[in-house]
């Protein structure tokens, strides 16, 4: 039995671009994780190429790998019934040999002295997350730097391909920020960074048609944002709530630096509302650093004791809904700042 890659995602399409970092954003059920794992298993059987499977935390790996009889290979094994698949702790076996490794980004620092010379691909699954609600997962502090450290550990001056897989929850995430990515039109591919970074918007008309025939999508979910997300791969969390341009009469209050990026904070006294904008006055006398990495002479640490009345009003306005943001990116940055500096 062979997978139907005419219906589901085919890794060979983005592979043909020969990019180093590949961001694959697709609707639910389009076969992203399956397609990558199936390809890696075939490559290992063919030439011994290994891979690493990366998740953000050890908790995310439990059911798939680190628990006894992990489920990592469960979707692949029916299509390779003549092969033996097994999971033992952080090792992914194919025919009693190590075909891959399972790692968590939170503990990746422990791997620095471990060589992985046989690894040719890294699969970072679910790299975009839903941070809403109490107890929801969150991106790690300075996560992209932590990933770069992990990549360096695995690659060791070699070109190791990375496959970042996720549903299109939001374009507001640290990886899109770092690489300046934008989601292309459904079914399309864009390349960035001297053609070394790729992003693909995966949509399967056959999967969408199958879903629309179900009672769940045709009647229960109906015409909703969730259906657009699950079937058409439209972002679920990027709504226009609190998005607004600052008015002309808004006055500059201070500059807020976040991961070396400036946020101009303006105040409209008429409506008692703060506006966060990419526009700012570089000569503004009051400047704050949201992180220690942003701290420079004549900048105050946002979480320090010398915050002043302006910052206290700024935080109160955020909590009370009296704040607007000029775009989704700024909105996400301020959300992260508020979470980390409480």
Which CATH number characterizes residue 207's domain?
3.40.50.300
pLDDT of residue 259: 83
Spatial CB neighbours of 191, under 8 Å, sequence gap ≥ 6: 17, 19, 197, 198, 199
Report yes or no on 242 lying in a domain: no
Report yes or no on 5 lying in a domain: no
Residues 193, 39: Cα–Cα separation, whole Å: 25
164 and 281 housed in the same domain? no
* Structural domain boundaries enclosing 16: 12-232
Residue keyed to tokens 């701290």: 295
pLDDT beneath 50, residues of the chain:
none
Domain count, the chain: 2
**Beta partners for 98?**
93
Residues 10, 102: Cα–Cα separation, whole Å: 23
E-strand stretches of the chain: 21-26, 50-55, 85-88, 91-94, 97-104, 119-125, 161-166, 189-192, 197-202, 251-258, 261-268, 273-277, 287-289, 300-301, 323-325
216 and 330 housed in the same domain? no
307 and 194 housed in the same domain? no
Please name the helix (run of DSSP H) or strand (run of DSSP E) that holds residue 177, with its range, or none: helix 174-179
25 and 162 housed in the same domain? yes
**Alpha carbon of 171 to those of 19, 181, 199, 218: distances in Å?**
21, 8, 12, 27
Report yes or no on 333 lying in a domain: yes
Residues 296, 288: Cα–Cα separation, whole Å: 9
pLDDT of residue 133: 62
Report yes or no on 121 lying in a domain: yes
21 and 146 housed in the same domain? yes
Report yes or no on 290 lying in a domain: yes
Report yes or no on 317 lying in a domain: yes
18 and 145 housed in the same domain? yes
Residues 180, 126: Cα–Cα separation, whole Å: 19
pTM for this prediction: 0.82
67 and 197 housed in the same domain? yes
206 and 267 housed in the same domain? no
Report yes or no on 177 lying in a domain: yes
Q: Residue 51 is encoded by which pair of tokens?
A: 């891979």
Which is it for strands 251-258 and 261-268: parallel, antiparallel or unpaired? Answer: antiparallel
pLDDT of residue 98: 97
Residues 177, 329: Cα–Cα separation, whole Å: 8
Q: What is the pLDDT of residues 51-97, one digit of tens each?
A: 999 999 998 888 777 655 678 999 999 999 999 999 988 999 999 99
82 and 139 housed in the same domain? yes
139 and 88 housed in the same domain? yes
Asked if 186 and 233 count as a contact pair (C-beta separation under 8 A), the reply is yes
Spatial CB neighbours of 92, under 8 Å, sequence gap ≥ 6: 53, 65, 72, 73, 98, 99, 100, 101, 102
167 and 294 housed in the same domain? no
308 and 272 housed in the same domain? yes
Spatial CB neighbours of 173, under 8 Å, sequence gap ≥ 6: 127, 128, 129, 139, 332
Asked if 234 and 224 count as a contact pair (C-beta separation under 8 A), the reply is no
Report yes or no on 72 lying in a domain: yes
């Amino acid at each position: 039995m062979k997978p139907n890659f005419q219906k589901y995602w085919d890794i060979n399409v983005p592979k043909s671009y020969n990019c180093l970092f590949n961001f694959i954003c697709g609707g639910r059920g389009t076969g992203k994780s399956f397609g990558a794992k199936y390809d890696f298993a075939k490559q290992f059987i063919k030439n011994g190429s290994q891979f690493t499977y990366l998740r953000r935390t050890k908790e995310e790996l439990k059911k798939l790998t680190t628990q006894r009889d992990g489920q990592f290979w469960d979707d692949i094994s029916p299509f390779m019934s003549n092969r033996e698949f097994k999971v033992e702790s952080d090792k992914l076996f194919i025919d009693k040999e190590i075909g891959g490794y399972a790692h968590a980004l939170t503990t990746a620092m422990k791997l620095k002295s471990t060589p992985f010379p046989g690894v040719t691909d890294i699969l970072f699954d679910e790299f975009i997350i839903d941070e809403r609600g109490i107890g929801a997962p969150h991106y790690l502090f300075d996560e992209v730097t932590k990933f770069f450290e992990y990549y360096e550990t695995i690659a060791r001056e070699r070109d190791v391909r990375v496959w970042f897989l996720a549903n299109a929850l939001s374009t507001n995430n640290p990886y899109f920020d770092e690489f300046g990515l934008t989601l292309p039109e459904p079914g399309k591919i864009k390349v960035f960074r001297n053609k070394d970074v790729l992003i693909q918007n995966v949509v399967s008309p056959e999967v969408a048609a199958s879903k629309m025939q179900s009672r769940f999508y045709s009647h229960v979910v109906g015409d909703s944002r969730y259906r657009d997300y699950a079937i058409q791969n439209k972002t679920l969390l990027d709504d226009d709530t609190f998005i607004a341009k600052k008015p002309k009469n808004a006055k500059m209050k201070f500059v807020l630096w976040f991961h070396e990026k400036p946020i101009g904070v303006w105040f409209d006294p008429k409506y008692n509302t703060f506006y966060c904008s990419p526009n700012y006055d570089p000569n503004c006398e009051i400047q704050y650093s949201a992180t220690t990495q942003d701290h420079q002479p004549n900048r105050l640490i946002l979480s320090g004791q010398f915050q002043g009345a302006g910052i206290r009003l700024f935080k109160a306005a955020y909590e009370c809904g009296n704040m607007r943001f000029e775009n989704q990116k700024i909105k996400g940055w301020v959300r992260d700042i508020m979470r980390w500096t409480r």
